[in-house]
Amino acid sequence: MRDIVTLACTQCKRRNYTATRNKKKTQEKLELRKYCPFCRTHTLHKETK
């Protein structure tokens, strides 16, 4: 039921993290504030394919 999704930084567009989400309960894309080691700051990470 839970699918693995990849999170990409919105500033440098690099894929840094993976997370799981239930696609039946949450239809919108996942957005989290995570630390980006390339930007060296906390940025918004959005779900990608």
Tell me the three-class secondary structure of the chain, residue by residue.
CEEEEEEEECCCCCEEEEEEEECCCCCCCCEEEEEECCCCEEEEEEEEC
DSSP type of residue 28: S
Q: Alpha-carbon distance 46 to 5, whole Å?
A: 10
CB 7 within 8 A of CB 46: yes
Structural domain total, the chain: 1
pLDDT tens per residue, the chain (49 residues)?
Answer: 899 999 999 999 999 999 999 989 999 999 999 999 999 999 999 999 8
Q: What is the pLDDT of residue 49?
A: 82
pTM score, two decimals? 0.87
- CATH code for the domain in which residue 10 is found: 2.20.28.120
Please give the pLDDT value at position 39.
97
Quote the pLDDT of residue 1.
Answer: 83
Identify the domain containing residue 27 by its residue range.
2-48
